[in-house]
A = this chain, B = another copy of it.
Amino acid sequence: MIDQLTAQIREKKAPIVVGLDPMLDYIPEQLLRDAFREYGETLEGAAEAVWQFNRAIVDAVCDLVPAVKPQIAMYEQFGLPGLNAFKKTLDYCHEKGLLVIGDVKRGDIGSTSAAYATAHLGRIRVGNELLTPFGEDFATVNPYLGSDGIKPFLEVCAREKKGIFILVKTSNPSSGEFQDQQTGGRPLYELVGEKVAEWGADCMGENYSRVGAVVGATYPEMGKTLRRIMPKAYILVPGYGAQGGRGKDLAPFFNEDGLGAIVNSSRGIIAAYRQSQYAQYGEARFDLAARAAVLDMKEDLRQAWER
């Protein structure tokens, strides 16, 4: 999958992942009304609105970007119907040729981590059948529990040719509370970065490892150091746009080959129609506003990766 991701980034000249993190607030009134008319003001109704919204966004951007990143929390908050919308979105993205990064930030130990890895990246044996529970291509993983929590993911990645992105330095203001703590002369996030490089060494694709990292756009200096520590890790970069990161600041996340990083934007794309810059599209053409925002982001990011 990491090789497919690299190939698609090259082909589309877009190291961009669209964060499919729909809040009901972002969804145009008309879509909500239609969904509520059919299913009532229920979890099913909300999930239907989310799904219809996603479908339109995916249709509008699928030729421009290599991947999407649905944030599962935004679906889990609508219970089972929400997770059904997550699964429908994922399957639809695959139909449209997009890679799917499940932003699930799972992490546990031993058989429990194995179960999460199976749920999102693997297949499970039931009697004589081998079945796919969710079936993303990549998943994000939390490292707090150490190697015991990561290794089951590595095994599934090796078997299924899938990939993970391990949280190293997150984009939020308080990420430093624990991640920046000095441990043996360097901050914890560097230690985690070293482990990412180590875990990734046995999980190589053609040029990049199946074990990537999450490093926030909001910390480009740290990104520079981490880029050096984990040269073969693809870096998934959240925090662009709405959280403050800008294209020109993101050069340190990329390697000399113009690859090695993929930048996420969620709100900045899917709710673009609410920004003054894209207001001309109006609520009804939210999908075209999203497309315009992707095209602008593509231009903005050129400064970061084009050599």
B107, B132, B167, B184: the one contacting A105 at CB < 8 Å is B107
Contact code string A161-183 (vs B, CB < 8 Å = 1, else 0) = 00000010011111111110111
Inter-subunit contact B178/A144 (CB<8 Å) = yes
CA–CA, A169 and B174, complex, Å: 20
Is A54 an interface residue when CB atoms closer than 8 A count as contact?
no
Q: Does B46 lie within 8 Å of A126, measured CB to CB?
A: yes
Assuming the A-B contacts A77-B124, A127-B41, are A178 and B112 also in contact, with contact meaning beta carbons closer than 8 angstroms in the complex?
no
Q: Is the CB of A181 within 8 A of B188?
A: yes
Task: List, in ascending order, chain B residues with CB within 8 A of A268's CB.
Answer: none
Segment at the B interface, from A68-76, A225-233, A287-295: A68-76
A299 CB, min distance to chain B CBs, angstroms: 27
Tell yes or no: A7 within 8 A of B by CB.
no
The contact of A134 among B79, B105, B119, by CB within 8 Å, is B79
Oligomer copy total: 2
Q: Mark A102-136, 1 if CB is under 8 A from B, else 0.
A: 00011111111101101110001111110111100
Cα A125 to Cα B78 with chains together (Å): 10
- On chain B, the residues within 8 Å of A255 by CB distance are none
Q: List 15 A-B contacts (CB under 8 A).
A: A41-B128, A43-B126, A45-B127, A46-B126, A73-B106, A80-B84, A105-B142, A110-B172, A146-B176, A146-B179, A147-B177, A178-B192, A181-B191, A183-B183, A183-B188
The 9 closest A-B pairs by CB, nearest first: A41-B127, A146-B177, A79-B133, A146-B174, A181-B183, A73-B115, A76-B119, A109-B172, A148-B172
Beyond A21-B112, A76-B119, A181-B188, list 20 extra A-B contacts (CB 8 Å). A32-B127, A42-B129, A43-B124, A71-B112, A73-B115, A77-B115, A77-B118, A77-B133, A78-B119, A78-B124, A78-B133, A80-B87, A82-B133, A105-B106, A105-B107, A107-B142, A145-B167, A181-B181, A182-B183, A188-B188
